[in-house]
Structure 1
Amino acid sequence: MLDSCKLKSAGNLPLICSKKIHTVGTSNADVPLADPGMYQLDITLKRGQSLAARDRGGTSDPYVKFKIGRKEVFRSKIIHKNLNPVWEEKACILVDHLREPLYIKVFDYDFGLQDDFMGSAFLDLTQLELNRPTDVTLTLKDPHYPDHDLGIILLSVVLTPKEGESRDVFQSQSLRLSDQHRKSHLWRGIVSITLIEGRDLKAMDSNGLSDPYVKFRLGHQKYKSKIMPKTLNPQWREQFDFHLYEERGGIIDITAWDKDAGKRDDFIG
């Protein structure tokens, strides 16, 4: 279930996940240092439940950051207008030792503004049983408002020791994975795209208007915008992310379409 890894960029750490833990986490600063060596942490970010509303419409556009120490090791995609988002994203992190907890911070994406904090939690890696998948439920809190209910984040994690392996050896082995595995799971960067608006689009309907939407494609990754009814100057204001893979070029295919109920959609351009 958790047999794949994402390497966000050269030098980024990998992750591990597993086991049923219901905790916000307490500081593990007093926990003795783990045995020397590397650990692989495989994480599946499953979903969020009953997250905090940060937008005027009573909803949020949540995404999640994972940090170890002060370093961000993974960032999820943005789920728009949803307080119960489903991510089902996987990440693989290399961990030097288990003293530092895995911090989870949730934010509401705001176009053109500073993103709003939606709560945080952390996972004490010393509590994970090695080599065993674990379901984790983390209760989100705001240190400034500890009594506020900010919902929960659900993960699945597996922690695996990499005894006797240095960071360089581990990463070189990871890069020798099969082509199929690489295409699915190894990426070197994130392309963040904001679809703002369209202007003077072609009229495709008999009323002199269109119902436009836009499709984006980068390799095997696809994104389809929402449909804007009866307009030639649509305002989308949608943001999404693609992963940039080592073996692929950076060409994004963008096409605009007119939605037609009951028949094939018209190609606008």
Structure 2
Amino acid sequence: MTSLQTVSKTLSPQWREQFDLHLYEETGGVLEITVWDKDTGRRDDFIGRCQLDLSTLSKEKTHHLELPLEESRGVLVLLVTLTASAAVSIADLSLTPLEDPEERREILKRYGVRKSLSNLRDVGIVQVKVLRAEGLMVADVTGKSDPFCVLELNNDRLQTHTIYKNLNPEWNKVFTFNVKDVHSVLEVSVFDEDRDRSADFLGKVAIPLLNVRNGVQRAYLLKNKELTAPTKGVIYLEMEVIYNTIKAALKTVVPAEQKYVEEEPKVSKQLLQQNFNRVKRCIMVLFSYGTYINSCFEWESSQRSITAFILFVVVVWNFELYMLPLGLVLLLVWNYFFSSGRETAETSMEAMFEWEDDEEDKEEKDSEHKGFMDKLYAIQDVFISVQTALDEVASFGERLKNTFNWTVPFLSWLAIAALCLATLLLYLIPLRYLVLAWGVNKFTKKLRDPYMIENNELLDFLSRVPSDVQMMQYRELRADPGQSPNKRRRAYPS
């Protein structure tokens, strides 16, 4: 009998625990679950019971089930995965499906162009050969490990057998998954089997299916659980993906399959700082583009400003609506042939991970010399930066809302006057003339008045609208006339 921990004083408990149950044919494949109300002072009270027929569930797939409790109100939510024995779930290299010519032709025919509109959920197939691993981490006191390999594709899960007392195991097994979404990521994890406890993590790799090079044996360096830093060991895999392009394209515009089994997020200063830097980097890219465009208006370079002005006039004067998607197409084509965006992205990712590793190494070296207050101040700096950024974003949205809520009637009337004027101008004057007038004004403003301070009228207007926090700060408190001044001070200590 296996029991969960008790969740006190709630009608919607969340256990979030995992059990490995070994079922045999004589059990009949029926799993019975009973829910009790734990009472420390007397006998536990029966709440409800439910049964699950495991023979109706498909193997090697995580199922999200909601089972109503018998003789009681309530529903029990389960995540159930049936994993068969190694002889059933995987095959040897000699039984590789795609290396059989007849079976390969059948598979290619099934995912050919003529079958594009039949069974849209069956996008393709992926075959994975798990060959061997080398130089794995030591997990046992004997200086060895008992490694086995787990492959996960969304909610499908397969597992190899365990090779005992070996740091260089050879599995030589073949896995086959049905592909429902070609944008899925195959996760290959290596664990150390421990009969007394849960398996120890040794390493992991994540491989997007679209990055697979068919029929090529590759060595993948194992990473940590977060996939952000390397760990000890190399795993050798050979993969092949066959899919229907039209089905894959149609699947791209529908919601992706939700993964049921995921680890709970943990609080981490490094992760918080990393996410903040990611947001900051995106903002800085937009800021750099804005600075470059603004330099054209400031006439910092006469050649650049004249070229931008002529290009602006030509584009606006000849603009048609179809040019907007066409311009995006040209941008994509230009980046495909001439841009180094992919190299820049890889460099930025490497820099981010190097930063994280440097931070971890630095913290390990300084952990002995760093006091508790120093660590607290470091975390406080990160939280202050995030807090300030969130405050600015929230204040902007609240000011927009308060403009339309007539929080400050004068500003709302002013917005009505400006919007009515804009409506009248857009009705009487074609849009290209208005954009042209705006652009000519922006380009010539610095020439007309070199000492003019640049501003944004919309942001200046919104800065006058109070946010919700400011509204609460500005709100007057009503005093009870029957209270004395001393009581008022005690009632409103702030």
Q: What TM-score, normalized to structure 2?
A: 0.25
Structure with the bigger RCO (C-alpha within 8 Å, sep 6+) is: 1
- Structure 1 or 2, whichever has the larger Rg, is 2
Q: What TM-score, normalized to structure 1?
A: 0.45
Query: Which protein has the bigger helix share?
Result: 2
